[in-house]
Structure 1
Amino acid sequence: MAITVSIELNRELEIPGSYDEVFDLLADVPRSASHFPKVHKLTDLGDNAYRWEMEKVGVDKHAIQSVYACKYHSDKDAGKITWEPVKGEGNGVVSGSWTIKSKGDNATAVKFQTSAELTVPLPSLLKLAISPVIKHEFNSLVDTYMNNLKKAF
């Protein structure tokens, strides 16, 4: 038995760095991922695709681990970085984008959008109870990631 939890997130923030510095950091997946909390392992699959293995959450047989892979595309002239799921990798399907705009020499506006579907091996009876917990955890991780990116500049 398994349940699938869907998550949609949108964030906007201003980073105190130049457009080039911010774009280069976000387009460099391993560098950007180093600011994301609770990443257990990031594996380069080649061709700008990466498998994300997050730390396990929970205890013993009730521990949940998110594993997913994405292929990344960046277009510096358009100010866009996108990612799409790599089929057959892990228990999550994740896609999204960064939209990046210069706001002067030392300020850059970024928009983060992501959609995720996580399938976890739990009885469907628990979906109502566990969905809000998973969504809260994901929101918390992304908020910490945004704060860490700001601190990087």
Structure 2
Amino acid sequence: MEERTGRRVYAPMQWWPLRVMNPWHKAGFLVSTILGGGSLASSAYLVFPAEPVHVVWSVVATALVIVLARSFRGRGEPVDPPRPWWRLTAFPRASWWLGVFYLVSTPAVFAVAEGAGDVVDAITSLFFAAAFLNCAARLTFSRTRS
């Protein structure tokens, strides 16, 4: 990425393996994932029983978050090599915010859990809290060591 006339220039997006560097492209991926997934889930609720759809959608949404987190790249982060298995964000601050968000939301998800889909959501929330906080701690520690 270079600075030209005050504008940041990002490396071009790669489709295989998926690498997204531009913040506008990241926003586009997130919006299309939310809208597309929501539309598919809503359509599935019309055809199939609610509980299996909820469980399947929770698993698919979890997979999508992991894939996007592994595909998005931050400023100054190498594009080609894969991230270490534990790294979900480019910078510690983003990991801390997301980890705390998931950690704070976990009790609320457990509080309203009624069926299997809600339990899967609660476990997923706890998993993401642990994963993002682990990433934040490792990134913070690696920056203080160097």
Pair in the same fold by TM > 0.5:
no
Structure with higher helix content: 2
Greater relative contact order structure (CA < 8 Å, 6+ sep)? 1
Structure with higher strand content: 1
Bigger Cα Rg? 2
With the length of structure 2 as denominator, give the TM-score of the two structures: 0.30
With the length of structure 1 as denominator, give the TM-score of the two structures: 0.29
